[in-house]
Structure 1
Amino acid sequence: MLTVIGLAIIAAVVAALLSGRISPVVGLTLPPLVGALIAGFGAPEITGFFSAGLAKVAPVAAMFIFAILFFGAMQDAGLFRPLINFLIRMTRGNVIAVAVGTSIAGMLAHLDGAGATTFLLTVPALAPVYLRLRMSLYLMLLLLAIGAGIFNMMPWAGPLGRAAAVIGVDSAELWRPLIAVQGVGAVMLVVFAATLGWFEQLRIARLPLQTKAATVEENEEKQPALSLSPVKIAFNVAIFIAVMAALIMGVLPAAYVFLIGLSLALPVNYAGAKAQMAAIAVHAPNAITMGAIILAAGSFLGVMDGSGMLSAIANDAGHLLPDAVAPNLHFLLGVFGVPWELVLNTDAYYFGLLPVVNEIVAPHGASPESVVYALMIGNIVGTFISPFSPALWLALGLSGLEMGRHIRYSLLPMWAFSLALMAVAGLLGVFH
């Protein structure tokens, strides 16, 4: 009985998240509540489920809120823009260099974990360069998407935060073994970009000569000049480095680290309480939205776990799966992680699929962390190939590209890169 109700709840949650007709908060709240009532649980039991689930995700929700506010303030202060502009200036005129610079720009621009910001920073600046050199804009989007995907493993980015909420582990702690994977992945991407750039150069050489080409300057959208003084820029860089170091070393909880960083960044960049609160207000909607989703996910997981539905589903599925499949289900699903992006959005993948897989493989000795790493590393590179990604639609709009052609162009390269990254993670001992 619990298995049937639990599967119905998960199906309803995934369907709700995929439909786009209701918000994730609604989709994560109502189906488990209705299911718990049908299963015969009363208000006292449901209250206990809710409280236990909320307690698990509260630190993650707090971390997300303060991280979004901190990176928003840093972004508004222009911390990342000079780096990206420098890369663009250095790579003009050389197809291979432009491809490599694009991959690096995608990673740097995604340091704040926000896909929309990544594409707003990079696409308007890079697209004219690609058009001038007759490079494919789909190559630009592919490289930006993979770079953003690698840096989407940061603890303040959406996927790791969701995964941390599901298994009840601090996201900064969950991230530390991934640092080496990200480092190797960044090097791999640079090599991959250079290779694709070389092939692109060969393709362009076969094209007929253009009679007239618009210059970069004619097409380029001018970037606003920074008004910050060198002293303020130095302070911002120091604050950013200190926050990153504190997160890596784990000296304080991640939420507190971001709160301290925000408290240092605001007075440096904004004069007076009114200006500082206005800076917070600009990014408050995103922060509150993500915090609300994480808290709603806590209630969903609290009901599913506390009621015994997850355990029932896992036990029954474990009996049905072949003996050779059940212990390695997380790896099998990770291998197909990129194609999953075409049918599941991020919420459905981490809140619907992850908890069930974790319950199935746990009796076979797989740790929750290994399950997260297998599913995430196999999936994360394909984040921005998903039709369910609003940031991707923004990138397509900015560059004038089509979703279908982007999927056809990028799916196989992304999938191949994802599998290589999984192999690297295995060699680094991430799966334990």
Structure 2
Amino acid sequence: MLSILGFSMIAVFMYLIMSKRLSALVAIMLVPIIFGVIGGFFTELGPMMQEGVEGIASTAIMILFAILYFGIMIDSGLFDPLISKILKIVKGDPLKIVVGTAILSMTVALDGDGTTTYIITVSALLPLYKRLGMNKIILATVAMLSMGVMNMTPWGGASAMAMASLNLDASELFLPMIPVMGFGLIWVLVVAFILGKGERKRLGVVEIQHSHTNSEANSELAATTVSRDYRRPKLVWFNFILTIVLMASLIIDFMSLTILFMIAFAIALLVNYPDLKDQQDRIAVHSKNALAVVSIVIAAGIFTGIMSGTKMIDAMAITLVSFIPESFGPFLPVIVAFASAPFTFFMSNNAFYFGVLPIIAQAADAYGISAAEIGRASLIGQPIHVLSPLVAAAHLLIGLVGTDFGDLQRFAVKWALGTVTVMTIAAIILGVI
């Protein structure tokens, strides 16, 4: 009975958010409450929900301050020297331009926000693509491939949802994935080299004036991202060192990621914007992105709390295990790694990570496979997810580049599948899954 109730709840939840009858934020709170009442757990729901929310509070706080931190870094102009350097180096060589696109988009995507990544990358480099007559779909493809890998960071969305739904922390889920992401980024550079070489063969190397192109790109960048009043060019080295120290601290894992990001954000905000009004303005600008991600993570505490507290998740896992052939059990993480690609393409990350993943993780437990391992495997399909029409940032990219969604998907999907395959192989070899 609990299994039927659980699967029915998942089906209703997925239908409501995929059909846009309800927002994910509303559905993830109200649907489990309704089904909890139907199951006869009305008097026990309060403590269940409280426990679920408390379990993911630290993750939500970490994501909040990570988004704010990287927002401050972008506002202050941390990436401006990189943009200028790339524009100066690539000049009129299509091969260098495409590889430069990959490097820039990877770097900017550190903040985990596709919207920011696409705006900065396209604004800086689209003038060059137009000037040389290069294929703009290549620009969009390389930016998407970079975002697909970098979206696996804990503040990028997918990892946050996986941590929330499986009640894991970043050290369990994300840190082992860093070398896997490294292989994914190397693959993106290889793809950029291949595509750039093709464009160089088609167009040749064109001699252009750096100053004209650079000023054109920088003027577009300034117009589409942040006012130059908030740039802090004299603090670039300070911000760079602060970010390197933060990244090193995350890897060393000597302190909670939540505390690290809180401290780093406080330092960055105080040093870059000592004026209280400027601080308030910068926080207000980035609060919208932060609220969108953090609110859904906190709300997921109700979902996971009820699923666990009512034992629905256990009953569903038992049912699911009964359908999995015994011989397939040990290979479940690999299956999840590849299956997460179509799952997250045809349904939102919310539906997959909160609706499907907990069931798979519970089923995997029967084979001695940890939830962390399944959670890591579930992230590998993100390069395909970013191609989905369900991703709002993808529509922004299409508009910025001026191409057709179908054309982009047909062009990019094989390279995105390559990223998934490379990262899956790397994860197996490194023992991450």
Q: What TM-score results when the alignment is normalised by the length of structure 2?
A: 0.92
Deviating more after overlay: 226-235 vs 182-191: 226-235
- Spell out structure 1 runs of 4+ moving beyond 6 A: none
Instruction: Answer yes or no: is the 8 Å Cα contact 2:84–2:214 preserved in 1.
Output: no
Residue 379 of structure 2 is aligned with which of 376, 381, 384?
376
5 Å-filtered alignment, 1:342-421, equals 342-377=345-380, 379-421=381-423
Letter of the 1:403 counterpart: F
Aligned to 2:50: 51
Residue 276 of structure 2 is aligned with which of 263, 273, 277?
273
C-alpha deviation, 1:21, in angstroms: 4.1
Aligned to 1:424: 426
Cα deviation 1:23-77 (Å, max 9, x = unaligned): 221010111111111111123x101210121121111111111111111111111
- 1:138 is aligned to 2:137: yes
Deviating more after overlay: 95-104 vs 234-243: 234-243
Aligned to 2:336: 333
| Gap regions ≥5 residues in structure 2 | 207-211, 223-227
Query: Using the alignment, how far apart are the partners of 2:3 and 2:83 within structure 1?
Result: 51
Query: Using the alignment, how far apart are the partners of 1:352 and 1:229 within structure 2?
Result: 43
Query: Using the alignment, how far apart are the partners of 2:77 and 2:298 within structure 1?
Result: 31
Instruction: Answer yes or no: is the 8 Å Cα contact 2:177–2:432 preserved in 1.
Output: yes
C-alpha deviation, 1:347, in angstroms: 1.1
- 1:3 is aligned to 2:6: no
Secondary structure (helix, strand or coil) at the match of 1:374 reads: helix
Instruction: Answer yes or no: is the 8 Å Cα contact 2:183–2:422 preserved in 1.
Output: no
Letter of the 1:165 counterpart: A
Cα deviation 1:151-181 (Å, max 9, x = unaligned): 2222221111111112222124422111111
Query: Using the alignment, how far apart are the partners of 1:30 and 1:335 within structure 2?
Result: 31
Query: Using the alignment, how far apart are the partners of 2:298 and 2:214 within structure 1?
Result: 47
Query: Using the alignment, how far apart are the partners of 2:385 and 2:76 within structure 1?
Result: 27
Cα deviation 1:177-219 (Å, max 9, x = unaligned): 11111222222221221112223334447xxx9xxxxx85797
C-alpha deviation, 1:300, in angstroms: 0.3
Query: Using the alignment, how far apart are the partners of 2:232 and 2:12 within structure 1?
Result: 53
- 1:63/1:122 CA distance change after superposition, 3 Å: same
- 1:268/1:204 CA distance change after superposition, 3 Å: same
Query: Using the alignment, how far apart are the partners of 1:236 and 1:171 within structure 2?
Result: 24
Query: Using the alignment, how far apart are the partners of 1:227 and 1:65 within structure 2?
Result: 21
- 1:249/1:140 CA distance change after superposition, 3 Å: same
Deviating more after overlay: 364-373 vs 322-331: 322-331
C-alpha deviation, 1:246, in angstroms: 1.8
Query: Using the alignment, how far apart are the partners of 1:298 and 1:380 within structure 2?
Result: 23
Aligned to 1:263: 266
Deviating more after overlay: 15-24 vs 243-252: 15-24
Secondary structure (helix, strand or coil) at the match of 1:160 reads: helix
5 Å-filtered alignment, 1:16-165, equals 16-43=16-43, 45-165=44-164
C-alpha deviation, 1:302, in angstroms: 0.8
Deviating more after overlay: 143-152 vs 322-331: 322-331
Instruction: Answer yes or no: is the 8 Å Cα contact 2:56–2:301 preserved in 1.
Output: yes
| Gap regions ≥5 residues in structure 1 | 210-214
Query: Using the alignment, how far apart are the partners of 1:227 and 1:156 within structure 2?
Result: 23
C-alpha deviation, 1:374, in angstroms: 1.5
Letter of the 2:277 counterpart: K
C-alpha deviation, 1:416, in angstroms: 2.0
Query: Using the alignment, how far apart are the partners of 2:116 and 2:74 within structure 1?
Result: 9
- 1:289 is aligned to 2:296: no
- 1:244 is aligned to 2:254: no
Query: Using the alignment, how far apart are the partners of 1:314 and 1:100 within structure 2?
Result: 45
Across the aligned residues of Structure 1 and Structure 2, the Cα RMSD in angstroms comes to 2.1
Aligned to 2:183: 184
Query: Using the alignment, how far apart are the partners of 2:300 and 2:230 within structure 1?
Result: 41
Secondary structure (helix, strand or coil) at the match of 2:77 reads: coil
Aligned to 2:209: none
Letter of the 2:426 counterpart: V
Aligned to 1:212: none
C-alpha deviation, 1:230, in angstroms: 5.4
Query: Using the alignment, how far apart are the partners of 1:240 and 1:179 within structure 2?
Result: 16
Query: Using the alignment, how far apart are the partners of 1:231 and 1:123 within structure 2?
Result: 25
How many pairs are equivalent?
A: 421
Aligned to 2:225: none
Q: What TM-score results when the alignment is normalised by the length of structure 1?
A: 0.92
Deviating more after overlay: 81-90 vs 406-415: 81-90
Query: Using the alignment, how far apart are the partners of 1:227 and 1:58 within structure 2?
Result: 31
Instruction: Answer yes or no: is the 8 Å Cα contact 1:162–1:351 preserved in 2.
Output: yes
Deviating more after overlay: 24-33 vs 246-255: 246-255
- 1:96/1:19 CA distance change after superposition, 3 Å: same
Instruction: Answer yes or no: is the 8 Å Cα contact 2:345–2:388 preserved in 1.
Output: yes
Letter of the 1:12 counterpart: V
C-alpha deviation, 1:326, in angstroms: 4.1
